[in-house]
Amino acid sequence: MSLARFVERLLQLIPVLLGVSVIVFAMITLTPGDPVQIMIGDQIVTPEQEAAMRRDLGLDRPIHERFFAFLGNAVQGDFGQSFYHRRPVIDVIKERLPATIELSLVALIIALVTAIPLGVLAAIKRNSFLDRLATVGSLLGVSLPGFWFGILLIMLFAVHLQILPVSGRIGYASEIEPITHLLLIDTLLRGRVDAFFDALSHIIMPAITLGLPMTAILMRVTRTSMLEVMRQDYITFAEAKGLSRQKVLFRHALKNALIPTVSVAAIETGSLLGGNMIVETVFGWPGLGRLVVESIFVRNYPLVQAAVLFYAVTYVMLNFFADILYTILNPRVKL
Amino acid sequence: MSAPTDKTLLQVEGLRTVFETRDGTVCAVDGVDVIVERGECLGVVGESGSGKSVTFNSVMGLVRSPGRIEAGRIMFEGRDLRALNQTEMRAVRGRDIAMTMQDAMTALNPALTVGEQIAEMLEAHDKGLPSGRNARRRAIRAHSVKMLGLVGIASPETRLGQYPHEFSGGMRQRIMIAIALASMPKLLIADEPTTALDVTIQAQVLELITDTRAKLGMSVVLITHDLGVVAEHCDRVMVMYAGQVVEQGRTADVIMRPKHPYTKGLLGSLPRLSLRGQRIEPIEGQVPELIDLPAQCRFYSRCRERGPECLKNIEMRDAGNGQTARCVRVQKELAT
């Protein structure tokens, strides 16, 4: 892809993101519930005090003013103050983001390394016992709700067998000075192998729970597209050349079969973000998803706005990268 | 059919390849015998579904489920290919017997460059490549360039790095031939190499095959439904109908003196400039379904010369001069 084309695609993202920010702002502002009332709670305040609070938070201004103020500041990276934390929203998000990124990455890796080999295997051994097992498994994978599956895992491994921790990111004994803020990497960089395994034992259940639906979908996509590719003439021709089975399968078939898998994986990575809210809540994972859920309950508008905008941007960017990856894998496509 | 000699490269006997379908077992190839001598070009003619491609896919061991070879011997240079295991068979494919496929548009992998697709053929069969890594790569590259040049692709050095979609249909067909010829096979099975091409390109591609055959001394099986192509390029011809060989012999004999009514029909349905103004005679009727065929001549329902004596299984009959045909009339014609 030429640089001009790349820039053009990048510029196309602007209207999309603008639209997203309007929707995000409107949805949150129009949702019933008053943050000031929630902050007051049971305390007794005078109307003057309440009005002062409202003014303090900028909630006394008309809605369009608030939107443009939000947009203008957002472009500069200022998402306002978190009502609840009394700190800049961006700082709160930055604090929570690494945990979510780490969890999503591990979930993604688990999904990719299980789904692709399973999908290929199911396609090669079509209609075998393994294929059927994988089919049933993937059906379960997409249909099991994350909160339920997560709780099942907790009950089995944490409560019953007591081999994995119930919640959190790492034990107190393993706390380390952060470098990248990704604990699995930091613990290794600090040479704390024990802490690494501690972090691993914390992340494994939430990552599996989060990655399960994606694994299931990717497996189905890989299987279907592998079956499709294996029927193609160029596979027969590759076999007629006398190439080894590995060469035919991996060089000729898989490279073509992965094209749809990659697109779906990129889009599904976006949906991991949504899954994060549930999984982080179930496993007490100190990430962005849980922060958003908490913020919704306390009507912490600025934070929810910023987080949803962040999700939307991530989603759009993932699709953008999927397109680019697509052109790399598929030489016929020019963006 | 004559007995195998030292000159015989490929001998197929009693090949039977079936496909299991919901409606029953389809016998796509039923008792086919083939002999290919060293250095000769055998034309295989027949309409779609007559079993031409399946016969030679069986030879290559490329019949896929739900198809399988039920019976027969496939002898190549004195070895029974059906007795070989997968690894041994892979060594035969590409190195001893190479194949080009009908549709060049779909037979090249869209995700690999042409150079990669030639190189892997050479790597797989490793005929006299140097051992050092760089020397090896250079040798493969040089050979690939040579092969592309041989099939008439201009500026082969730059073309090696391009993907199949950057070539025209005729060029892809020639690239496929370049790949097939890259490891100097003893037998080339060219499955309808010209069907998908423009007439002008057709001639080029066939010339190319004939030239390289002469240069390398290899044998060629040319699968086609074009009798004109056969007349020009093949030493011998084999006509297939509904999974059986119905006639075979030297090209000149079969074309000048066809014995089987089906061959006569095929020749009669060819448009010819010399017969301008006359109607082209089509063969009436359709090829029978290949499920549960009755024990009778398979061409019976479409044959103009049919009689009650045709309602039994017909064996190939000798028409003299190495020509045989699967028709009860053959002996009679000889007598009269």
- Portion of chain B with pLDDT greater than 90, in percent: 41
Q: A184, A212 in Cβ contact below 8 A?
A: no
B147 touching A, CB under 8 A? no
pLDDT-based confidence at residue B307 (cuts at 50, 70, 90)? confident
Q: Is residue B72 located within the same domain as residue B111? A: no
pLDDT above 60 (res B333): no
Q: Which residue in B has a C-alpha nearest to residue A241's C-alpha?
A: B94
B120/A256 CB distance under 8 A: no
The angle at the Cα of A297, spanning A296 to A298, to the nearest 5 degrees, equals: 90
Query: Per-block average pLDDT, block size 10, for chain A (335 residues)?
Result: 76 85 81 75 83 80 83 82 82 89 93 93 89 90 87 91 86 78 84 86 92 93 93 92 90 89 86 83 90 86 84 84 78 64
Q: Is residue B247 located within the same domain as residue B263? A: yes
Whether B297 is covered by a domain: the verdict is no
B120/A251 CB distance under 8 A: yes
User: What's the ipTM?
Assistant: 0.87
Q: Which residues of A touch B64 (CB under 8 A)?
A: 236
Whether B231 is covered by a domain: the verdict is yes
Q: Which residue in A has a C-alpha nearest to residue B107's C-alpha?
A: A234
Domains and CATH numbers, chain A: 94-287 (1.10.3720.10)
Q: Which residue in B has a C-alpha nearest to residue A327's C-alpha?
A: B111
B106/A234 CB distance under 8 A: yes
Q: Is residue B166 located within the same domain as residue B246? A: no
- If you average pLDDT over residues B315-333, what whole number do you get? 82
Whether B9 is covered by a domain: the verdict is yes
Task: Indicate the pTM of the whole model.
Answer: 0.78
Whether B335 is covered by a domain: the verdict is no
Q: Is residue B225 located within the same domain as residue B143? A: no
Q: Is residue B68 located within the same domain as residue B194? A: yes
Give every CB contact of residue B118 below 8 A, 6+ residues apart in sequence. B144, B147, B148, B160, B175, B178, B179, B182
Q: Is residue B119 located within the same domain as residue B174? A: yes
Whether B313 is covered by a domain: the verdict is no
Count of domains for chain B: 2
- Which residue from B34, B46, B121, B81 is spatially nearest to B290, judged by alpha carbons? B46
Q: Is residue B67 located within the same domain as residue B101? A: no
Q: Is residue B4 located within the same domain as residue B30? A: yes
Whether B265 is covered by a domain: the verdict is yes
B62/A240 CB distance under 8 A: yes
Q: Is residue B215 located within the same domain as residue B154? A: no
Q: Which domain holds residue B28?
A: 1-87+187-201+211-292
- If you average pLDDT over residues B93-116, what whole number do you get? 90
Q: Is residue B82 located within the same domain as residue B193? A: yes
Report how many Cβ contacts below 8 Å link chain A to chain B: 78
Query: Which of A233, A329, A330 is facing B106, going by the closest CB pair?
Result: A233
Whether B31 is covered by a domain: the verdict is yes
Tell me phi and psi for residue B62, to 5 degrees.
Answer: -115, 25
Whether B179 is covered by a domain: the verdict is yes
Q: Is residue B218 located within the same domain as residue B175? A: no
- Choose the final residue of a domain: B253, B277, B292: B292
Q: In CATH, what number is assigned to the domain containing residue B179?
A: 3.40.50.300
Which residue in B62, B90, B163, B195 has the most chain A C-beta atoms within 10 A of its own C-beta, making it the best mutation to test that interface? B90
